[in-house]
Amino acid sequence: MGDMIFPLEKLASFEGNIYEITVAASRRAFQMSKIDDPEIEENAGKSVSVAAEQLFDEKVNYRIEEPSK
């Protein structure tokens, strides 16, 4: 992969909720950094870009949890 940048073209064509996928990418990036995922180092430390790419390519899925009552 190398010098990955944020996949703006995929964000622009995304038909879902942009806020949700942005938050999901941020949380996924945090997870990846906590476990020292080697994919981050392979992509010049761009954890949010790697996480967003995983979400857009559906390698990783997310769901919104409903608050408990």
User: Is 13 among the domain residues?
Assistant: yes
Which residues have CB under 8 Å from 11's CB, separation 6+?
A: 18, 21, 52, 56
pTM: 0.80
User: Is 29 among the domain residues?
Assistant: yes
User: Is 3 among the domain residues?
Assistant: no
Domain count, the chain: 1
User: Is 23 among the domain residues?
Assistant: yes
Percent of the chain past pLDDT 90, that is, above it, reads 58
pLDDT of residue 47: 92
pLDDT in tens, 9-35: 888 899 999 999 999 999 999 999 999
pLDDT of residue 3: 59
pLDDT at residue 1 is higher than 50: no
The range of the structural domain enclosing residue 52 comes to 8-56
SS3 category, 65: coil
Average pLDDT value for residue range 44-52: 91
User: Is 48 among the domain residues?
Assistant: yes
User: Is 12 among the domain residues?
Assistant: yes
SS3 category, 18: helix
